[in-house]
Amino acid sequence: MLNFVQIVAEGQEAMGSVTLSFDQRVKSRLKVELDNGEAAGLFLPRGCILKHGDRIVAESGEVVAVRAADETVSTVYVTDPVLMARACYHLGNRHVALQIDAGFVRYQHDHVLDEMVEGLGLSVICEQAPFEPEAGTYHGGGHSHSHHESDHEH
């Protein structure tokens, strides 16, 4: 079994790939299956978050490309910068990891959050897409929230 221990520059030639969900890409210790079916393990430094396009190196020197898996996400397509800011503010106030790009904001699907965003006058699309949230948001490690109206009244 290959044990991947280091993240290297995106430009290195890869012998294969591994497709991982966001929840898998935030874990530093994890048994995975490469896209060719070979079993492998991640033994990366704690706190590393793998991004689409990263390369990881095994103890034996093999390099594999990381691919972000399609997963169930909620996407809000919006061109009005004030509405975009308002959606990001309210989602961020609930400590939700967000992917923010020109014209859309995306988060891991949650029907209660969808209803909140729709209440702001925006349309939410539940779709399958890669999830690449902004760096610096809190990920993993038992920091979970239920998303009920009584939570996080500030």
Sign of CA pseudo-dihedral 47, 51, 64, 12: negative
Q: Decide: 56 and 63 in contact? Cβ < 8 Å.
A: yes
Task: Look at residue 6 and give its three-state secondary structure.
Answer: strand
In tens digits, the chain (154 residues) has pLDDT values of 999 999 997 778 899 999 999 999 999 999 999 999 999 999 999 988 999 999 999 999 999 999 999 999 999 999 999 999 999 999 999 999 999 999 999 999 999 999 999 999 999 999 999 999 998 644 443 333 333 334 444 3
Q: What is the pLDDT of residue 60?
A: 94
Q: What is the pLDDT of residue 83?
A: 95
Measured between alpha carbons, how far is 104 from 127 in angstroms, rounded to an integer? Answer: 13
Sign of CA pseudo-dihedral 42, 55, 99, 71: negative
Q: What is the pLDDT of residue 10?
A: 72
Q: Which is nearest to 55 in space by CA: 24, 15, 26?
A: 15
Break the chain into its structural domains and give their ranges: 2-68, 70-130
Assign domain 70-130 to a CATH class. alpha beta
Measured between alpha carbons, how far is 56 from 89 in angstroms, rounded to an integer? Answer: 34
Q: What is the pLDDT of residue 9?
A: 72
Q: For residue 17, how far is the Cα from the chain centroid?
A: 17
Looking at domain 2-68, which of 2.70.70.10, 3.40.50.720, 2.60.260.20, 3.30.70.1230 is its CATH number?
A: 2.60.260.20
